[in-house]
A and B are shown apart, each in its own frame.
Chain A
Amino acid sequence: MSESKSIRNTTISTSMYRGAVANIPLAVSAVTYGGVLGVLSAQKGVTWAEMSAMNVLMFAGSAQFVMVDMWQEPLSVLAVAMAVFIVNLRYLLIGASLQPVFAGHSLWRKALFMHLVADENWAVTITEHRKNGTNPYFLFGGGLLLLCAWSCGTLGGNLLGSFISQPEKYALDFAFVAVFAALSLSLWRGRGDALPWASAIVLALVSEKFLPGKWYIVIGGVGGALVAGAIEYLRLKKR
């Protein structure tokens, strides 16, 4: 009994450690990206306390950019809520796609670990799950590392004020695109993905041009996956 328990504890800590290590490249870019937001937030008069509360309670990069941008008195809670709703709607899809990783795990574990799901550790975990299989601890380990990195970046930038005054000059804004491009390559499952992915790209590009916020991620993601579902539906009907 105690032996099996200790084995279980070992796998838990090993998985968390592996998850953290796998997220190191993304943590590096989260520090720089967070630094940019921190500097912006200092210019907008956002305090370190407000920034910390957003980091720990919300933990969502692009939504924090939007909130920092809106941060002035009088602050409308409704306006912030609506903006965050649009920007973070994609987490509904991201949460749904993590179902195989959490299969068989308890409700409280799902409730706890889902809080630290960001685009970064989600992408790393899904990729790892497709390759070797993984578990919620792997995801959570990555989430903890990202929370540290994100807090270091945002608070460092906020305290130092002009830490990175021109991020685009050093192409630091490109770090995220670089990592996500590589990750999407490892999500490629074969020719069957071609049409869904092409549809997703077209839909995302078009809706990004015409719609506010992050709607384009939701529209591209859902639209592309609907194409995949429709192909399967037609295939089943033909049989």
Chain B
Amino acid sequence: MSANLFIENGPAAIIVASLITYCFRFGGLLLADRLPRTGPLRIFLDALPGTILVSLVVPSAVHSGWQGVVGVVACLAVYMGTRRLLLTMFSGVLTVYLLRLVS
């Protein structure tokens, strides 16, 4: 029974992958504690959230084709107008769905 639940090396792979992931999460936080509170390095760290997020979003949007780019513009407009995340998500998905339907 238990042999069927995991493939060979499966548990080891999951544990190693999980340890790596956890070390990044916790290690990043511990590292930041030892960094200065002012100066260029601080500015670098404060800029990270924004730059990570756009680096995450833009390539995926571009991958969704022109419909995705239009969808992002629609999302930005809805979010600026309403500040509602759920509404933004649905309007984005609906926009891309309709655009894919007609194209």
Contact = CB atoms under 8 A, between A and B. Distances in A.
A58 interface: yes
B102 interface: no
Contact residues of A: prevailing secondary structure = helix
A93 B52 contact: yes
Interface residues of A, number: 99
A201 B25 contact: no
A94 B59 contact: no
A185 B96 contact: no
Contacts of B88: 25, 178-179, 182
B56 to A, nearest CB: 5
B85 to A, nearest CB: 4
B20 A93 contact: no
A106 to B, nearest CB: 12
A170 B97 contact: yes
B103 interface: no
Contacts of B96: 171, 174
A182 B93 contact: no
Contact of B59 (A179, A185, A216): A216
Interface in A157-211: 168-189, 193, 196-197, 199-201, 203-205, 208
Contacts of B100: 168-169, 171
B101 to A, nearest CB: 9
Nearest to B55: A220
A91 B17 CA distance: 13
B55 A217 contact: yes
Contacts of A85: 20
Contact of B48 (A97, A189, A233): A97
A179 B14 contact: no
A97 B55 contact: no
A177 B57 contact: yes
Interface stretch (A11-19, A113-121, A145-153): A113-121
A226 B58 CA distance: 19
Given A97-B49, A182-B88, A71 B7 contact: yes
B7 A50 contact: yes
Nearest to A115: B22
A187 B53 contact: yes
Interface in A10-62: 24-26, 28-29, 45, 47, 49-50, 53-54, 57-60
Given A63-B17, A96-B45, A174-B64, A73 B57 contact: no
Interface of A: 24-26, 28-29, 45, 47, 49-50, 53-54, 57-60, 63, 67, 71-77, 80-81, 84-85, 88-99, 102, 110-111, 114-115, 117, 119, 123, 126, 168-189, 193, 196-197, 199-201, 203-205, 208, 216-217, 219-233, 236
Given A25-B88, A94-B52, A193-B47, 14 more contacts: A47-B6, A84-B20, A96-B29, A97-B28, A97-B52, A177-B57, A177-B64, A177-B72, A178-B71, A178-B75, A182-B89, A197-B51, A200-B52, A222-B51
